[in-house]
């Protein structure tokens, strides 16, 4: 049965026809907000090949707060503020910045290289650069 025709929750016909249109418009506008071409800084390092190398959280992009693990951004020069998910001793994690000239249609896998297994100090770095499928240069 169609979701608009649910017997326990009858919807008014006008509302029933409006809901799919609103959802479709929201999805299309989200696509329009994605910059083309785009680049992706990604803090989800997972290779575990190098000792004392850990994933990072991207807390800011060009000084603006960020909550996404792998945000889509316009290519170009960006300053990324990172915290390491490696060892830390205090209640607050250390922040470091990394400035990158990011090329279109690439995913930058970011990591934190610590000098040893207990140090909070780290050097932010690009561990790997991968081509991004679905991006149009």
For the stretch 15-43, pLDDT in tens is 555 555 554 444 444 444 566 789 999 99
Cis peptide before 49 (omega within 30 of 0): no
What are the strands, taking DSSP E only, across the chain? 40-42, 53-54, 56-61, 64-65, 76-84, 95-102, 106-113, 123-131
Angle at the Cα of 128 (from 102 to 92), degrees rounded to 5?
85
pTM, rounded to two decimals = 0.72
Q: Give the mean model confidence (pLDDT) for residues 34-62.
A: 90
pLDDT for 137: 80
More confident residue, 35 or 2: 35
């Amino acid at each position: 049965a169609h979701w608009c025709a649910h017997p326990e929750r009858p919807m008014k016909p006008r509302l029933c026809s409006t809901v799919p249109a609103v959802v479709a418009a929201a999805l299309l506008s989200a696509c329009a907000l994605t910059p083309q071409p785009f680049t992706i800084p990604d803090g989800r390092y997972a290779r575990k090949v190098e000792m004392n190398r850990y994933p990072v959280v991207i807390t800011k992009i060009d000084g603006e707060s960020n909550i996404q693990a792998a945000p889509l951004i316009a290519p170009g020069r960006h300053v990324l503020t990172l915290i390491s998910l490696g060892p830390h001793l205090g209640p607050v994690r250390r922040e470091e910045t990394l400035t990158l000239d990011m090329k279109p249609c690439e995913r930058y896998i970011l990591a934190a290289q610590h000098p040893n297994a207990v140090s909070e100090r780290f050097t932010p770095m690009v561990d790997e650069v991968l081509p991004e499928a679905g991006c149009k240069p």
